[in-house]
Structure formats: C-alpha cells, structure tokens
Amino acid sequence: MARKQTIRPEGEVRHSQLITTYGPGAMVDLPDCSVVIGGLNFWMYSPDQPPEEIDEPRLIAKLRQSLNVGSLRLRKPPVYDVGPGAQSRPGGIRSPEFPNWFVAQLDRTEMFDGKTYRSRPLVEGARLDTRKYIDADRKAHRVVPVRFVQSCPNGHLSDIDWREFVHRGKTTCRSTLWLDEAGAGNDFTEIFVRCSNPACMEKWNRRQLSEAKQKLKGDEDERPALGYCQGHRPWLGPFGQEACDNGKGKGGSYANRLLVRSASNAYFPELISAISIPEAIDAVREVISNHLKAFEKITSTAKLEVWLEDYAPDHIKDPLAGTAPALIFQALEAIRGGEDAPEKTEALKRQELRALVGPIDGLRRGTGSSRFEAENLDLAGKPAWFRKRVNRVLKVHQLREVMALLGFTRLEPVVSQIDGDPLDLGVKRAQIDVKEATWLPAVENLGEGIFLGFDPEAIRSWIKGDGASQHLSKHRDAFKTWNKEHGLTEDKFQWPGGAYLMLHSLAHLLITEAALDCGYGASAIKERIYAFDDIGYGILLYTGGSGSEGSLGGLVGLADRIDELLAMALERAALCSNDPFCASHEPNSELEKRYAHGAACHGCLLIAETSCERRNEFLDRALVIPTLIQHDAAFFTEDP
C-alpha cells in the first residue's frame, strides 16, 4: 500500500508568539506566501486533543470586567499534530492568504524625468497562473506579496485598490500596472504606480505613493487617495466584514490609511497578565481543573453534595474531603467563568502587591496551579545605605504568569494604566472572533524572580526634597503635553508619579546588570513596577517560559548579593556613553519631543520593549543616581 503523505503546516510559531507577536489579525510572511493569522473561529482543536483550559481566577474576573461578559474561559492555543501514526490532523490555525496583490519578479529599468527606476508588474492574485505571472512573451515569473496595504483606526484591513488609486477613482481599465521604485524603495516620494495603457499615461501619467499618506484638507467633497474604509476583517474569513464607524455619530467611515505590512504599527496586541497568588482554595481548584469533564452535570451545591457522596470516584472524592460543598461549587463556577454579571474588581497589580508585602507564610505554597513559592531574605547583614531604602527582598523560587489576549489595535497601541488596567485611548479594539467571546487564548509562563520592597517613608521623604520636587515638576509639565498628544485628559490617565518613574528607571538598570551575571539575556527578564502609596512600593524582576517547568535559578541566585548587584547598577548608571547629551535632556523640551523621558537613551535605560511594561516610557536616570547635569534629584545620593 502507498504510504499516505503527511500534510505539514505552512508555518510554525510558539504558543507565546500567538499571544504576543503573531496573534489573530497579525500579518506573517511565510516562505511562499503571506497570511493574516486567523481569528478564533479558525482555531481548530483535534478531537484527540481537546482545548487545554488555564485556570487563573483573578485574571478571568478582570477579563470579564473588561469585556463586560458573563461566562469566560482561558484556553491554550491548539497544537498541529504531525507526529507518527496521526491519521487525521484537524488541529491548528487556519490563516487566510493576505494580501492578494503581488509584485512580479520581472525587473525592468525605466527613465522618468531623468531618473532611473526599477519597474515591476503589480498584479491581482486572480490574474496569476499557478502563482506565477505570465508576461507578454508567455514566460512565467514568480511573485511576492506587495508590501503596502491599507487600514483604519478600527483595525480593519484590506488590499489597496491599486487601479482606483492610479486612476484617481473608479475605472474600467484593466491594463497591467507597474510599480516604479528609485533608490532603496523606502522613500514614498520615489515610489510610483503606473498604468501601462497609453491613454491613461496621457491623462494621469503616474501617481506617487506619498499621495496615499496626505491628509484631507477638510473639504467634505474631497475623496481620500485610498478611499473610505469598508470594514474588511480578513482574519475572520469571508463573513468578517462589518460597518466602519468613524465615531463622529454621522454613520461615516474612516479614510483608509497606508500601512506597510512589516511596520511596527501594523499590529499591537492588547494583553492582560497576572502573577498567580497562592490561596487556600488552590488545591481544590487544581482537582476540579484536572477533572473538569466529570463535573459537567453539576449545576448546584445540592447536586454536588449528592454526587460527591454517592457517585464521585475516589481520585476526586478523597482530595476534596473536608472541604465544604459550597466552597467546591463556588470554585467550580469560577473555573467555568461564571454566568452572573461581572463585578468591579481591584486592579491586578494592587492585589499582587498586597500579597508580596504581606505575611510571608501566604507565599510559601508551591502546590496547585499557582506555582508561587517565595522565601524572605534576611537583610541584617546588608549595608546601611541598602537597608535604609529596601525593606524586603523575596527570593521567588517559583512563579506563574498567565497572559491572555483580548484583541488588538493597529496604528496606535492600547495604553494601560499604571495599575495594569487597560485605558481607553479612543482606539477601537479589533475583535478576534466573529461573535462575542466565550473564551480567550492564553499562555502560562513558569519561572522565577526577585522582589524588592522599598521603605515607603524613604520614598516619601525623597519626593518631598527640593531637588526631587523641582525636577519632577518638569516631568509633571511634560506629562500634560504627553497626554495632549495621545488625546487624553488628566481624569482619564493620571500622572504615574515620581515614585513610579524612579522605580521604573531602577528596574531597567537592574535588568541590564542582572543579565550580565544570571545567565539570562536582558530580553528574557521582565518587570512589574508597584507604586501605590496606600499599599507600598516594589519591583518584581522575573523570567519564565511556556515550554518548561520553570527555570534554573540563575535569577534567584542573585538575591543573596542583591546589594552588590544594585551598587554595580548605580555605578554603571552614573555615566552614560552618550553623556553629556543624555544627561542634559529635559523632559519638557519642545525640540526633542521626548516628553516621557528624562536622562534616558539606548546607552543607559532603554531595553527590549518585551521586557518593559510601559514600552520604554516614563524613565529618567537622574531620579535614581546623580548625573553630570542633575545632581540633587536622585533617590540614591550616598556612595554605596
């Protein structure tokens, strides 16, 4: 018998990438084509591998509140099975091909206005023959997807109608279009679209791509170069189109905007993450999560009590013995996502900080799904300058971070509050499913970390000092301009505060220093900054991954000499390789327009954005250590 051919996927990504980088709606280049990652309606789970649920009650409660939905669950992305013996492989993610316009690899040289252009045919996918462009001599040429598409602030995405663009409106002309590029092809003023029809050339000549970026002058009769958005959502399939609303209340659409597929503003995932906090009910939740199917018909506490008494198997009954049925049913409903209207819950980071600064006994549970186990470090032998400011160091041997994807935006990112809650910037979150979400994709990262708690009185005293208060007033004024540029007001997004700026800057310095010694790259270490005057102040540096059971202890091992690590970080921060230019930057400078930065650049404070919770904003080295220009605004003024 002939061996059945194994069908392999067109491309592969890690689970974590499907949440952070290549989630639904993201454009991805594969070896032979370009696709847009399919929405949740295209996520297929194998019957042999049902969806794997992730239980994180605090995160689910916050997501229900953000989406204003009743029931909600978290699931890991599907796995495409290509192992031996697999007969059917329905699992995986179907991703529609996009864009559907291509540039043929047929190079010609053309002269226009004394300048030489590289000219290539620009063709629709429908005009290709077995994915090849056939020229006038019947020769086949391979094609590549065009790198320009169009989008709108609602996240809609579609191909540019290149015929309408070059002819400046509706046309019946079907002649071959050409893409003329001069230089490296990155300057839109040197990229032209041309119609090969001589009649069109006489009337329209060519059209410069830079015209697609020009804003309307306010004339209501003026048509934008790329037309108005039609609400296309190719990641949701052929029935994903919706009406585009420009938010003006008149039923109009946004004007389409030119978008480079590989540009950094093409896709901004909206993520919410939570660090698991141990609770007494965790062991019960673990049993339920591992045997959730057995609880399918349990709809009340009374039914649960009868089932546990007469029908439940021993491997479920025994671990639950001694726990009140009401608590078990409450945990079951929480895992199911609940059906009642979502309640207002405290910000996730505030809940985490209460646990991190609370009794250490509550952080010593290493069982259950929470996977959090911390040890308090004795600071008695640490130097005075260190103990004066740091009042707690935790060696976090185990931690679990759960990240969930709500949706995404294009053109502008979604900004979160300092406490981690999402902030409405007026940018509409694009849906990742054709219907109301009943589940969201999520991943869990297991790892380790270090928590530094800071003395609230030391921070308050520093903020009240003349040097710090005067320097922070510049940041305060610059923040008003930052808010204005982002379309925000003070009541929507409050100033993070001097304590946050200082702790955030210090965290970046510690990440850079720790990466030199702990065995992890700087991009593998992440931060969570806690600056709540009514609870406390702290920094959590942690690392982890979704493909392992934890980490090797390299980061935790630094905790024993955290004072030495901090001293080296401060010494390195005192002088930046870009000084005196870096140190002389003023946050409210109209020339540089870096309103979220003080003394901060790629030579000192800026790190990988995947490690930073604020996309490298709200940083100033002068708030941590005296610099060449600013001497009296630093939190650490004494030589370690």
Q: Closest Cα partner for 571 from 510, 518, 502?
A: 510
pLDDT at 552 over 50: yes
pLDDT, mean of residues 151-160: 92
The residues pairing with 228 across neighbouring beta strands, listed in sequence order, are 255
N residues, the chain: 640
Range with the poorest average pLDDT among 36-50, 299-313, 399-413, 479-493 = 299-313
Structure tokens at 101: 């316009």
The per-residue pLDDT for range 100-110, each reduced to its tens digit, is 999 998 888 88
pLDDT at 137 over 60: yes
pLDDT of residue 337: 60
The per-residue pLDDT for range 14-26, each reduced to its tens digit, is 778 888 888 999 9
pLDDT at 517 over 70: yes
> The whole model's pTM is what?
0.83
C-beta separation of 633 from 471 below 8 A: yes
pLDDT at 528 over 70: yes
pLDDT at 486 over 90: no
> 1: pLDDT confidence band, cut at 50, 70 and 90?
very low
pLDDT at 284 over 50: yes
Q: At what angle do helices 466-485 and 498-515 cross, to 10 degrees?
A: 90
pLDDT of residue 118: 87
Helix or strand holding residue 317 (H, E)? helix 314-320
pLDDT at 87 over 70: no
3-state SS of 167-231? HCCCCCCCCCEEEEECCCCCCHHHEEEEECCHHHHHHHCEEEHHHHHCCCCCCCCCCCCCCECCC
- Residue ranges of alpha helices (H) inside 402-531 are 456-464, 466-485, 498-515
Per-residue b/e over 474-502, b at no fewer than 16 CB within 10 Å?
Answer: bbeebbeebbeebebeeeebebbbbbbbb
pLDDT, mean of residues 42-67: 83
pLDDT at 531 over 90: yes
Q: How many CB atoms lie within 10 A of CB 360?
A: 12
pLDDT of residue 117: 86
Rounded-to-integer distance, Cα 225 and Cα 382, Å: 65
Residue of 426 and 534 predicted with greater confidence? 534
> 48: pLDDT confidence band, cut at 50, 70 and 90?
confident
pLDDT of residue 83: 53
pLDDT of residue 256: 92
> 547: pLDDT confidence band, cut at 50, 70 and 90?
low
Rounded-to-integer distance, Cα 306 and Cα 70, Å: 27
Q: How many CB atoms lie within 10 A of CB 165?
A: 21
Per-residue b/e over 381-394, b at no fewer than 16 CB within 10 Å?
Answer: ebeebbeebbbbbb
Residue recorded with tokens 């978008």? 259
Percent of the chain whose predicted confidence (pLDDT) is above 90 = 32
pLDDT of residue 640: 60
State the average pLDDT for the chain.
83
CA distances from 267 to 55, 154, 382, 396, 616 (A): 27, 12, 46, 33, 18
pLDDT at 481 over 90: no
Rounded-to-integer distance, Cα 157 and Cα 627, Å: 47
pLDDT of residue 499: 94
Structure tokens at 252: 């109009």
pLDDT, mean of residues 323-334: 72
Residue recorded with tokens 């990155």? 186
pLDDT of residue 3: 43
Rounded-to-integer distance, Cα 42 and Cα 94, Å: 5
The per-residue pLDDT for range 302-324, each reduced to its tens digit, is 777 777 777 777 777 777 776 77
pLDDT of residue 404: 92
pLDDT of residue 369: 59
Rounded (10°) CA dihedral 376, 381, 383, 389: 30
pLDDT at 595 over 60: yes
pLDDT of residue 197: 84
Percent of the chain whose predicted confidence (pLDDT) is above 70 = 86
Rounded-to-integer distance, Cα 504 and Cα 349, Å: 15
C-beta separation of 423 from 417 below 8 A: yes
pLDDT at 85 over 60: no
The per-residue pLDDT for range 198-225, each reduced to its tens digit, is 877 766 678 889 888 877 655 555 678 8
CA distances from 447 to 289, 369, 371, 541, 544 (A): 21, 13, 9, 11, 4
Helix or strand holding residue 329 (H, E)? helix 325-336
Of 86-95, 258-267, 283-292, 408-417, give the range with the top mean pLDDT.
258-267
> 550: pLDDT confidence band, cut at 50, 70 and 90?
low
pLDDT of residue 2: 41
CA distances from 452 to 72, 351, 418, 552, 559 (A): 34, 16, 18, 20, 9
3-state SS of 224-284? CCCCECCCCCHHHCCCCCCCCCCCCCCCCCCECEEEECCCHHHCEEEEEEEECCCCCCHHH
The per-residue pLDDT for range 419-477, each reduced to its tens digit, is 777 665 556 788 898 888 889 999 988 889 999 999 999 999 999 999 999 999 999 99
Rounded (10°) CA dihedral 459, 460, 466, 471: 60
pLDDT, mean of residues 84-104: 76
